[in-house]
Amino acid sequence: MKVLLAGGAGYIGSHTALALLNAGHDVIIVDNYCNSSPESVRRVEQLAGRPVELYEADVRDSSALLSILSGSRPDSVIHFAGLKAVGESVQVPLAYYRNNLDATLTLLECMGKTGVRNIVFSSSATVYGEDAPVPYVETMPRGRCSNPYGWTKSMIEQILEDAAVADSDLSVVLLRYFNPVGAHESGRIGEDPRGIPNNLMPYISQVAVGRRECLNIFGNDYPTPDGTCRRDFIHVMDLAEGHARALEYGAGRKGVEVFNLGTGTPYSVLEMLHAFEKACGFPLKHAFAERRAGDLPEFWADAGKAKRILGWQAKRSLDDMCRDAWNWQEQNPMGYQPS
C-alpha cells in the first residue's frame, strides 16, 4: 500500500513510517517541521534501507497538498499533523484550534478532490473526558475535555464522523492513543521534545542524561496504590505496529471505527521512575511536588477491541520501554541536534 503520513516526521509518525516500510508499504511524508526535523526521516530511511517520498509543506496549504496527493496518489492517509502540548494549548487556544482543525479540514477536502478514501486519525484517550470510569472502552461516549488540545481531538473525531456520514465511500479509523513512550530499539530515532519536556518519560530521560537536575513528581496523595498517578504507557513501536494493522483494516471497509491503542495495564509515576533507574543503572534525583492542574488520578485502556478486530496487542514490557528510551537518549543526548 502507498501511505501518506501527514506530520510523519514527528515522534509517532517517524516510528510508524519505519514500521510501514518494514512491512513493505511505500511511505510519503508531508510535514512543516514545526515540531520536528527532516533528520528523523533521514534516519528512518537508513534503518529501513528504503527511501521515503518527503515533502516540506503545511497540511493547511491546500494547493501544496493537492499537488502532492494528485502526484503521489496514496491509497491511504494517516493524520498525525497537530500541535500537542496540553499546557501550551491553554495559553494559546486559538493557535491549537486553527492548526489542528484547519489541517484536518484541508486534508479531508483535498482527499475528496483527489479520490483518496481512507484515513486513520491520531486521536487520544483524552477524548473520554474527565468523568469517564476506568478502564476506557470504545463504546463510552466522548466526554468533557479539560483543555483546548483535548477538545481539538474530540472535535476532529466529530468532523471525521460527519464526513463519513455524508460520503459513504469514506473509511475512517480513529486511534485513541494512551501514553506512548520509548523509542525504536536501534536508538536511532526517538522522542525529541523542544524545550522543557511536558511529558513524564522524556523528562526522566533528560534527568538521566544530565540535561535536567531533578524530576518533579506531580502529586503523591492521589487515591492510587502508591499515591502517584497511573497511566497506560505503551511502547511507541507497539503503537506503530497498531497503525499498520489499522491501515489494512480501514482500507478494506467503509464508515467509522474507533480503537484504543493501549496495553490495558497501568503503571504509576513512581513505578515508571524505578523501571527507568533499573534500565540506566543509577538512581535519579526526584522530589514530590504539587499536583499538576488537570491531571486525572488514573486511566487505562480496555485493549480488547483492537485485539479482537485488528488482531493487534502490545507486546513490549515496561522494561523494554525504559531500555529503549534510555538507549535513544544516551546515544542522542541532545536529540536530533548535533551535541
Active site residues: 149
Cα–Cα dist 5/337, whole Å: 23
Cα–Cα dist 169/163, whole Å: 10
Give residue for cell 492510587.
224
Q: Is 101 in the site for ligand NAD (CB under 6 A)?
A: no
Task: Tell me 281's DSSP state.
Answer: T
Q: Where are the alpha helices (DSSP H) in 141-199?
A: 148-166
Q: Is 82 in the site for ligand NAD (CB under 6 A)?
A: yes
Q: Which stretch binds ligand NAD (CB under 6 A): 64-72, 79-87, 137-145, 211-219?
A: 79-87
How many C-beta atoms lie closer than 10 Å to residue 52's C-beta? 23
Cα–Cα dist 174/188, whole Å: 28
CB of 231 to ligand UDP, least distance (A): 5
Q: What share of the chain is helix, strand, coil (3-state, %, to 5)?
A: 40, 20, 40
218 binds, among ligand UDP, ligand NAD, none (CB under 5 to 8 A by kind): ligand UDP
Q: Is 300 in the site for ligand NAD (CB under 6 A)?
A: no
In the set 60, 142, 184, 316, which binds ligand NAD (CB under 6 A)?
60
Q: Could you tell me which of 60, 68, 15, 16 has the C-alpha nearest to residue 34?
A: 60
In the set 148, 180, 197, 219, which binds ligand NAD (CB under 6 A)?
180
Q: Is 177 in the site for ligand NAD (CB under 6 A)?
A: yes
Burial of 20: CB neighbours in 10 Å, binned 0-12, 13-18, 19+ = buried
Q: Which residue is nearest to ligand NAD (CB)?
A: 10
Q: Which stretch binds ligand UDP (CB under 6 A): 42-50, 142-150, 214-222, 303-311?
A: 214-222
Residues engaged in binding ligand NAD (CB under 6 A): 7, 9-13, 31-36, 58-60, 80-82, 84, 99, 103, 122, 124, 177, 180
Residues engaged in binding ligand UDP (CB under 6 A): 179, 198-200, 203, 215-218, 229, 231, 269, 292, 295
